[in-house]
Amino acid sequence: MVKRLVLLRHAKSSWDDPTLADHDRPLNRRGRKSAKAVGRWLTGLGIVPDLILCSDAARTLETHKRLKIGGELRVLPELYLADADTMMAAMQKAEGATVMMIAHNPGVADFARRVVASPPPHGRFGDFPTAATLVVEIPMEDWEAGHFGSSRVVNFITPRELIGKGDD
């Protein structure tokens, strides 16, 4: 059996209000547009997660909302600024055939590099920009069997590929 993981870094957040705590920052205009574009892209590929594991930060929750994609939402405070090992532990507790995880850098970039058997030939994979999305397949029966270096890249895309460079 094969499981599918969709790893998404939250979309671009706003720094307009310096009084907001990092945890409470919303998306900016570009982030809202990017999240919507990623949602359309995933839907167009027929990718609908059974379960969405999401940090409890405002920007990850808003990213999820603007994706307009199905699946049970499970908000996990431990995914806020999580490292790769914490993200792996969260993935190993998942259920369903397709799981999405929405979290933050640097953890997302590190998790992505470590979870794949071979990285995609994409210039932005290493830094995993905002709203970048990785789709991988992992040969396993249950999520608890997941481990680093075990997945095959199906897709990796950045929002600029979906909405254009001048469309910020």
Domains, the chain, ordered by start: 2-100+107-145 (3.40.50.1240)
Strand order in the sheet with 51-54: 72-75, 51-54, 98-103, 2-9, 133-139, 152-157
Summarize pLDDT for 79-100 with one digit per residue, the tens. 999 999 999 999 999 999 999 9
SS3 assignment, position 67: helix
Summarize pLDDT for 12-48 with one digit per residue, the tens. 999 999 999 999 999 999 999 999 999 999 999 999 9
Query: DSSP label at 14?
Result: P
